[in-house]
Amino acid sequence: MPRPDLAPFIEHTLLAGAATAADVERLCDEAVEHGFFGVCVTPARVALCRRRLDGTGVRVVSVVGFPLGANLTTIKAVEAVRAVGDGADELDVVAALGALRDGAYDLVVEDICQVVRGAQGRPVKVILETGALTEEQKRVGAALAKGAGAAFVKTSTGFGPGGATVEDVRLLRSVVGATIGVKASGGVRDAAAADALIEAGATRIGTSRGVAIVQTDAAPPASGPPVAPAAVAPHEPKGEPTR
């Protein structure tokens, strides 16, 4: 049977650089039709989504420093400010993954703080690209993101190694507790996968297969349909913004 109960968890996603305006408009229209939480797009498409979705209640999510996270921090901060100015409701920033793997944790925190400042109160999700990290690096990255003011930690870009797994979602949830969200993204293709990730602790699902997921014939889990996630308020960032 159809699974409209999953729609409030879903960020309908289109991050292909070659996506046309018509592709993005279709994404927005599908999000409205199916009641998805939001759409997740590249910064260049935020303004178009804002116009298309104005008054619908569907949120506009922009990626920042995507997909490598290797941009200069000042560039990420400027990108965040511009995305907000264009109408983004939330930002998904790729962490400074090289610095995280180097153990340069001050740099990781400062990178996130600058984006949180640039978001001007909008929720920021920190993408950890879990497929590229050790278990300890995942733990440290999640803790640093929470401490730097992130409203969510997120598993993957969908462009790196691996994708969202139940094990990683459970691990991230164990680190951040119940006070911030966990977004599972990367390879979520059906309702069964979405159910498993939500059961493990995900409060948001990023996927390009949202329509297929809510129209699936799969039954909800034996424990009943998932409860729609409560909104997560952004945390107060630390540090000073880039001028």
CATH assignment of the domain containing 39: 3.20.20.70
Active site residue 106: no
> Does residue 228 belong to any structural domain of this protein?
no
User: Measuring CA to CA, how many Å separate 199 from each of 125, 127, 129, 227?
Assistant: 20, 20, 21, 10
Q: How far apart are CA 115 and CA 40, in angstroms?
A: 17
> Does residue 108 belong to any structural domain of this protein?
yes
pTM attached to this predicted model: 0.90
> Does residue 83 belong to any structural domain of this protein?
yes
Active site residue 238: no
31-42 pLDDT per residue, tens: 999 999 999 999
> What pLDDT score was predicted for residue 243?
29
Tokens at 24, concatenated: 């993005």
> What pLDDT score was predicted for residue 223?
60
> Does residue 234 belong to any structural domain of this protein?
no
> Does residue 227 belong to any structural domain of this protein?
no
> What pLDDT score was predicted for residue 216?
78
Phi, psi at 183, each rounded to 5°? -105, 125
163-184 pLDDT per residue, tens: 999 999 999 999 999 999 999 9
Which of 86, 89, 92, 195 is labelled catalytic? 92
Q: Are 156 and 164 in contact (CB under 8 A)?
A: yes
> Does residue 144 belong to any structural domain of this protein?
yes
> Does residue 241 belong to any structural domain of this protein?
no
Which of 146, 154, 168, 195 is labelled catalytic? 154
Active site residue 183: yes
> What pLDDT score was predicted for residue 242?
32
> Does residue 89 belong to any structural domain of this protein?
yes
Please tell me the total count of domains within the chain: 1
Q: Is 87 left (phi over 0), alpha (psi -120 to 50) or beta?
A: left
- In sequence order, the β-bridge partners of residue 153 are 126, 182
> What pLDDT score was predicted for residue 225?
57
Question: Where in the sequence is the domain holding 172, given as residue range(s)?
Answer: 4-214
Low-confidence ranges of the chain (pLDDT < 70): 217-225, 227-243
